[in-house]
Amino acid sequence: MEEGQTLDHPQRPIVACLRCREQKLKCGRELPSCERCRKQSAVCTYPAPPDRKQIAQKTRRAKTSQSNHGNPPHQSESEPGATTKAAAKKRRISPDPSSPFHCLAHPETAELPPTEIGLLLHEVFYKRVYSANLLFHKTVSYQVYMLKKTPEYLQRAISALAAIFLQEVHSPHQRHIKVLPMQKLYDQSWSWAHAASVEVLSHVDEPSVLKIQTLQVLHLYYFSRGEIIRAKVHASLAYQLSRLLAYDDLQEPNESYPNRSLQFDREIRRRSFWASWCSMCFGSEDFSASQLCESAVGLPLPARFSEGGSIQGVDLIIGPQLSRDWRSCTDDEQPKSLMAEMIRLLGIWTKVRTWVCHSHSMPNPQRAGELVRLDKLLEDAELSMHLPVTDLLTAAKSCDESPELLASVCSLYHLSRLIIPAFEVIVIENRPLLLTDVAGTSIGMCTKIVFDQALNFAALLQQLIQGNLDITRLWPFSGYAVFLVANIFLNMYNAMLQSGVPAGAPVRIPGPDSDILKNLQSILGVLSIYWKPLQTLGNQPHT
């Protein structure tokens, strides 16, 4: 071929583009972008072709190293110092093999489990990780896995997070744990997670929805192990990449008959943003609620999926959009997905936390106005979700979700309802939560609201205990809510004793030896086994 022809008709790349490789699809390798990427309006990037000479050299070196293993060459007498320095340097940069976090960085060292074990880990993942049903569609995810089209780094991340629930434990709360231990899988979890991190972080400049999903799963894994810095790094990257790819502004086109496959693809991309947004709300300490909520204004909330579905598409009902004041832009009476309700409640909780942080500096009229707005948002949530929930099992069936997941979502509501009046009494008025305060006063009314919400939340969790349901399926956030509610009861109980009024009159307040407090401590004890940051709370139940 002549040079001019080469310029006019460049040869196709010999490797598939990164997006097709990641999704394990056949790539047409067209230039400047392949047909699949053009149809999806996606960035099409072709990696450099493999250097076969370099690969061959590495293979030869590996074989030579294996043949010399156990028979190291004699140290050169002319350079003893150089060898000593090299050995010292190796000791400095090599991780301690006895460390629980020791792991070879290369993905090939973290071998994936066989398909049967992989399916078990997927089932554990979808039952016990709150964001699993937000990030993925379970049925489609299983189909993709069985077709062997799930990227290995995502498989490793899911396997690692699921395996934390399979550790062998010896706990006084053993009767509340409904999963059989598989310690070998738990021991492998760090290797899987670390290998997935290495692979995803090394290609973070080539973002995709699959990488964002993996970062989200790894964020929860590292959080469960108490690796807070690693967890924050992965969560922050997932959030920033989802915004970089404009998933926070991914609207539905106005089509009478939308393509089901493309519609589902857009929904999953939006959900990857929502999942990372939730992590930022849960994990941020010093943040601005206005910025977080502003980033989500106008984006459709997670859709309600119909039963079934396939990789060709899923029937769904697009979720409503939220306005700047965090209220639904439509008056649609169709039932929303529980994930959509969860996001709305999480936004309210974020606003409540911000109000608590900044209320001291607000003028009284501004504080009062903000309280009215928050109260209205909570009233809207009560009407939409029929809160508070009194029959957990029936309510869970009506929204086609597990009772444990519904109880976890409700914890956001109860905590939002009780934190504001508790803050008003304890911090603003510098008073204990004393039920004998005059009922007609603002302090008395606030204390009554706090007590009622704490009782409602405790009664909700009591249904889990009485129904012998799986406590390990509750969110880690539920453990935080349990800790706060338990301490509110103890605060009120001690205030009653110090006031000289018997703890049983006029209203019986749960004390340290009550069934309510014991159940709350059991729930926190179970959750702290799998979510290490909760252990510091579980060690101080009577503070």
What average pLDDT does the structure give for the chain?
83
Over range 392-413, report the average pLDDT: 92
Kindly tell me if the per-residue pLDDT of 302 is higher than 90. Answer: yes
Report which secondary-structure segment, H or E, holds 196.
Answer: helix 183-201
Kindly report, residue by residue over 459-492, the tens digit of the pLDDT.
999 999 999 999 999 999 999 999 999 999 998 8
DSSP 3-state of 110: coil
242 in a structural domain: no
* Mean pLDDT lowest among 36-50, 145-159, 175-189, 417-431: 36-50
Kindly report, residue by residue over 216-232, the tens digit of the pLDDT.
999 999 999 999 999 99
* Mean pLDDT lowest among 151-165, 249-263, 275-289, 369-383: 275-289
| Domain span including residue 423 | 386-543
Angstrom distances, CA of residue 322 to CA of 325, 351, 376, 387: 8, 14, 15, 20
Alpha helices in 467-541 (DSSP H): 476-498, 515-530, 535-538
Confidence of residue 507 (pLDDT cuts 50, 70, 90): low
* Mean pLDDT lowest among 79-93, 110-124, 155-169, 220-234: 79-93
Of 214 and 440, the structure prediction assigns the larger pLDDT to 214
| 27 in Cβ contact with 16 (< 8 Å) | yes
Burial of 100 (0-12, 13-18, 19+ CB in 10 A): exposed
> What is d(CA 211, CA 241) in angstroms, rounded to the nearest whole number?
9
> What is d(CA 402, CA 396) in angstroms, rounded to the nearest whole number?
6
338 in a structural domain: no
Structure tokens at 240: 């920033």
Kindly tell me if the per-residue pLDDT of 5 is higher than 50. Answer: no
404 in a structural domain: yes
Kindly report, residue by residue over 31-63, the tens digit of the pLDDT.
878 888 887 767 777 877 766 666 566 566 555
318 in a structural domain: no
84 in a structural domain: no
Q: Does the bond joining 107 to the residue before it have cis omega, within 30 degrees of 0?
A: no
Angstrom distances, CA of residue 359 to CA of 280, 282, 356, 507: 22, 20, 6, 31
Kindly tell me if the per-residue pLDDT of 107 is higher than 60. Answer: no
Confidence of residue 84 (pLDDT cuts 50, 70, 90): very low
| DSSP state letter for 428 | I
Confidence of residue 392 (pLDDT cuts 50, 70, 90): very high
Task: Count the domains in the chain.
Answer: 2
Tell me the Ramachandran region of residue 319: left when phi exceeds 0, alpha when psi lies from -120 to 50, beta otherwise: beta
280 in a structural domain: no
Structure tokens at 420: 């504001």
> What is d(CA 238, CA 234) in angstroms, rounded to the nearest whole number?
6
Over range 504-522, report the average pLDDT: 84
| 469 in Cβ contact with 410 (< 8 Å) | no
Confidence of residue 501 (pLDDT cuts 50, 70, 90): low
Of 255 and 201, the structure prediction assigns the larger pLDDT to 201
Closest CA to 306 of 293, 297, 317, 298: 317
Closest CA to 214 of 153, 125, 150, 300: 153
Question: What b/e readout covers 62-81, taking b as 16+ CB neighbours within 10 angstroms?
Answer: eeeeeeeeeeeeeeeeeeee
Position 338 scores a pLDDT of 93
